[in-house]
């Protein structure tokens, strides 16, 4: 069974399985916005949970991605 490269969980939270999935999730989150020059942060391992933040930084809009490996997130959730 094949999995999609990314899955939208809610709001600005995604699960990405590949670098291509990260790029697809970024485009999905921005919904065609063209005012973002670059993204700060990216997954260093996959699959990852990614949370995007898009805000004005004084000179334009910046996109920040906070990323954590899926197994680390799962372990943290299982503690609660």
Helices (H) and strands (E) in the chain, counts: 2, 5
CA atoms within 13 A on the CB side of 56: 2
Domain range annotation of the chain:
6-78
- What pLDDT does 80 receive? 82
- Note the pLDDT tens digit of each residue in 9-64: 999 999 999 999 998 999 899 886 666 667 899 999 999 999 999 888 787 778 99
- What pLDDT does 75 receive? 93
The position carrying tokens 């989150």 is: 29
- What pLDDT does 68 receive? 97
CA torsion sign, 20 to 25 to 31 to 35?
A: negative
Neighbours of 70 (CB within 10 A): 16
- What pLDDT does 54 receive? 84
């Amino acid at each position: 069974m094949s999995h999609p490269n990314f899955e939208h969980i809610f709001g600005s939270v995604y699960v990405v399985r590949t670098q291509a999935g990260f790029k697809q999730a970024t485009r999905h989150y921005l919904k065609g916005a063209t005012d973002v020059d670059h993204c700060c942060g990216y997954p260093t391992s996959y699959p990852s949970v990614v949370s995007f933040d898009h805000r004005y930084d004084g000179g334009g809009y910046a996109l920040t991605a906070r990323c954590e490996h899926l197994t680390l997130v799962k372990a943290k959730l299982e503690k609660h």
